[in-house]
Amino acid sequence: MATISRINAGVISDPLARDSGRSLNTVLLVVLSLLGIGLLMMTSASVEIANSSTGDPFYYFKRQAVFAVVGLFAGAVTLALPLSLWRRFSLLLLLGSGLLLVAVLIPGIGHSVNGSARWIDLGFFNLQPSELAKLFIVMYLADFLERNQAEVREKWREFFIPLGIAMVASWLLQMEPDHGALVIVMATTFCLLFLAGAKLMRVVSLVVLAVLAFSAVAITKPHVLARFNSFLDPWTAENVTGDGYQLAQALIAFGRGEWFGMGLGNSIQKLYFLPEAHTDFVLAIIGEEFGLVGVGVVVGLFCILVVRAFAIGRLAETKQSFFAAYLAYGIGLLFAGQALINIGVNIGLLPTKGLTLPFLSYGGASLIISCVIAALLIRVQFEVERLPSVDMKSAR
């Protein structure tokens, strides 16, 4: 079977094949580093609001620490499960996540915050179905694309099936609404189709249609237009105190931090100037307290994680393990998409959107699922490294 990657092997090499032990440690080191930075900076960003609202300055830290322990335990369980088991139940997991996306829209089940019904209140924990949906969509698409590689390239029916799944999920996400997750689901699907060998013109034409459709929907939503207008010019009088307030305060935080920051705990913006600083805008507090250098470290760690995911996928592909390859690519795309959107929102390159930064932002669902996804990536690497090498010339 011919290799299907369009990734230039000269750009993304196979360091895994040369040093598998070090690569495993790299993935773990990056994840643990992000977890540690996240606990530290989320605590710094939340001490004032936690003290005023609960009387305990470490309230959010304690909860996030519990979520981190649960996430590490869930990751350990995930690491112990073979990929064949995930693949066997990928359809059931996809359907289950779809039912949860429907359930969150039902009054009395879905828990609404700031006008968005994205959570299911379990008492001790708020479950966010979109986090599960993103992972299980990628998992099912990895299975589907391996089973239908030739058909996806040549036939419209197999090409549209993954798009249909993504469109149904996107429609449910639009109902919440959760535009950030919607964009990630669609972008990841298009990228996986491209990596599976789908014709470029098909992918590009549908991307253009998706952008036009999303724009048409956005025009009908006054609050979306207001956010876009505030994004274009956050400093006007009506925006700086209205829809552009968060962005303006975040930019002030980055400006105060300059190169090396004001020092840990010395942020001014977290003192009620920047709302929800410990969730969507924790990167702005990192920028204020540790400057451009601190932000560069965080961005660098995410870059390493994404590059490693694609390197693992590349190695799996060269060994003809295409489910593992697509799963690794999909995981890399999920981390890249979520990090890019959150970072873009924080620095004013994208309109304000409620999307957490993996491992760093406060939130149990996001943290636990991020740990599970990272463990899946390590499991992919573990299994792929033990596969025999394939003679690509004979495979052709």
DSSP β-bridge partners for residue 362: none
Distances (CA, A) of 242 to 228, 245, 246, 251: 12, 5, 9, 15
> Contact at 8 Å (CB) between 284 and 258?
no
Q: What is the pLDDT of residue 23?
A: 42
Q: Three-class SS of residue 155?
A: coil
pLDDT at residue 9, as a whole number? 38
For 119, the enclosing helix (H) or strand (E) is strand 116-121
Q: Which of 37, 8, 18, 17 is nearest to 367 (CA)?
A: 37
Give dist(CA 137, CA 131) in Å, integer. Answer: 10
Dihedral of CA 151/154/155/158: which sign? positive
* Phi, psi for residue 262 in degrees, rounded to 5: -90, -5
Q: What's the one-letter identity of residue 381? A: Q
Element housing 121 (H / E)? strand 116-121
The residue type of 252 is: I
Q: CA-to-CA distance for 48 and 380, rounded, in angstroms? A: 41
* Residue 3: predicted pLDDT: 40
Sketch the domain layout of the chain as residue ranges. Answer: 15-395
Q: What is the pTM of this model?
A: 0.88
10 Å CB burial of residue 157 (0-12, 13-18, 19+) is exposed
Q: Which pLDDT score is estimated for 282? A: 93
Q: Is 65 exposed, middle or buried (0-12, 13-18, 19+ CB in 10 A)?
A: middle
Confidence (pLDDT) at 247: 85
Q: Indicate the SS3 state at residue 118.
A: strand
In 178-211, which positions are buried (b, 16+ CB within 10 angstroms) versus exposed (e)?
A: bbbbbbbbbbbbbbbbbbbbbeeebbeebeeebe
- Per-residue pLDDT at 1: 39
Identify whether 162 is preceded by a cis peptide bond (ω within 30 of 0). Answer: no
Picking from 390, 371, 343, 394, the residue whose alpha carbon sits closest to that of residue 27 is 371
DSSP 325-351: HHHHHHHHHHHHHHHHHHHHHHTTSS-
**DSSP run (H or E) holding 111:** strand 110-113
* Strand ranges across the sheet with 110-113: 110-113, 116-121, 126-127
Going by C-alpha positions, the residue among 201, 177, 170 that lies closest to residue 113 is 177
Whether residue 302 contacts residue 374, with contact meaning beta carbons closer than 8 Å, is answered with no
pLDDT score of 336: 95
DSSP collapsed to 3 states, 289-306: HHHHHHHHHHHHHHHHHH
**Mean pLDDT (10-residue bins), the chain, 396 residues:** 40 42 70 95 91 89 94 95 95 94 86 72 80 95 91 85 91 85 91 88 83 73 66 70 80 91 90 84 94 95 96 93 95 95 89 85 91 95 85 50
